[in-house]
Amino acid sequence: MEITFLGTGAGVPSKERNVSAIALSLLQEQKCIWMFDCGESTQQQILRTTIKPGKINTIFITHMHGDHIFGLPGLLSSRSFQGGNDRLTVYGPSGIKEYIETSLKTSGSHLTYPLSIIEITEGKIMENGQFIVYATLLDHAVPSYGFRIVEKDKPGELLVDKLLEIGIKPGPIYQQIKDNEITQLPDGQKLYRREFIGPDKKGRIVSILGDTRARDEHQSFVEQSDLLIHEATFDHTKADLAKQYFHSTTTQAASLAKAADVKQLVLTHISSRYQQEDQIDLLRQARDVFPNTKLAYDFYHIQIDSK
């Protein structure tokens, strides 16, 4: 799992930050890339990375504000010319289907690949062999969602030493033991997988919240995430302004991370009022509450290693 921040600004692009877009690379796990939001100029940002648009097969939209969706029709259209032949699925709030279909129709765009558009509500919105994705409604001026990506637990390691102790030498039999609850040997002896497999390896958890006011209710949704990505539109002195505009501050995001016992916090969606020289102070504010905090910038990469 690798996260690439393609845009980390709030509202409008600035010289230092483009508007919201995050890529979650699952190339090792599923040979694909998921995207979260797609603000204007996301295509240009992608050109400055190793991301191949044809590998993007799932897009999650947090909410319908322009700085999170204005790049979507262009990306969908261009994907037809960039090796994208497989189905692409867009998950988003009510209105996303009309927005995409109208944009493509009125611009005369024709896709060369199948497109699915799913308007979401709270709860489990997607599941495949390796991952489950949950959505929760946040507190914003329009319906805005947070996503919790849960990797399913993996089977533990084969206890080779234990097998050698009973005379079972390496070979195809080892794979049979891993794949089956009961394996019967030629002499009739039965081997039970549970006796020769170590504890399951816990899957990773990534929580990505869209624009939102700080709410205690979000704690259970992001609990024990390996990574929490949270907006921090304002610095800690502007809590009243953040509340007025349905956003969060640096310390509010950090307080949630601390209360929810997450491992790491990354702040994004930074207001254009803050310049390069302000970033040290923004990060310090959050780290005073939750030390393991990073402040995202465009093209920032973060690796989420297996446990």
12: domain CATH number is 3.60.15.10
Assess whether 115 and 222 both reside in one domain. yes
DSSP at 158? B
Assess whether 218 and 188 both reside in one domain. no
Whole-structure pTM value? 0.91
275 or 136, which is more confident: 136
Q: Is the pLDDT of residue 83 over 80?
A: no
Assess whether 17 and 143 both reside in one domain. yes
Assess whether 183 and 54 both reside in one domain. no
Q: Is the pLDDT of residue 18 over 90?
A: yes
Assess whether 189 and 265 both reside in one domain. no
Q: What pLDDT, on the 0 to 100 scale, is given for residue 284?
A: 98
Q: What pLDDT, on the 0 to 100 scale, is given for residue 98?
A: 98
Query: Smallest Cα–Cα separation from 210: which of 271, 268, 151, 287?
Result: 268
Domain boundary among 195, 217, 252: 195
pLDDT, tens only, 28-69: 999 999 999 999 999 999 999 999 999 999 999 999 999 999
pLDDT, tens only, 224-262: 999 999 999 999 999 999 999 999 999 999 999 999 999
Assess whether 169 and 259 both reside in one domain. no
Total domains in the chain come to 2
CB 205 within 8 A of CB 225: yes
Vertex 42 angle, CA 141 and 56, to 5°: 100
What is the residue range of 186's domain?
160-195
Q: Which residues contact 205 (CB under 8 A, 6 or more apart)?
A: 148, 149, 150, 151, 224, 225, 226, 227
Mean pLDDT of 60-79: 97
Assess whether 93 and 230 both reside in one domain. yes
Assess whether 164 and 235 both reside in one domain. no
Using the structure block, give the residue that is written with the tokens 């509500």: 121
φ, ψ at 257 (rounded to 5°):
-60, -40
Cα(8)–Cα(299) distance, rounded to whole angstroms? 9
Active site residues: 67
Assess whether 181 and 273 both reside in one domain. no
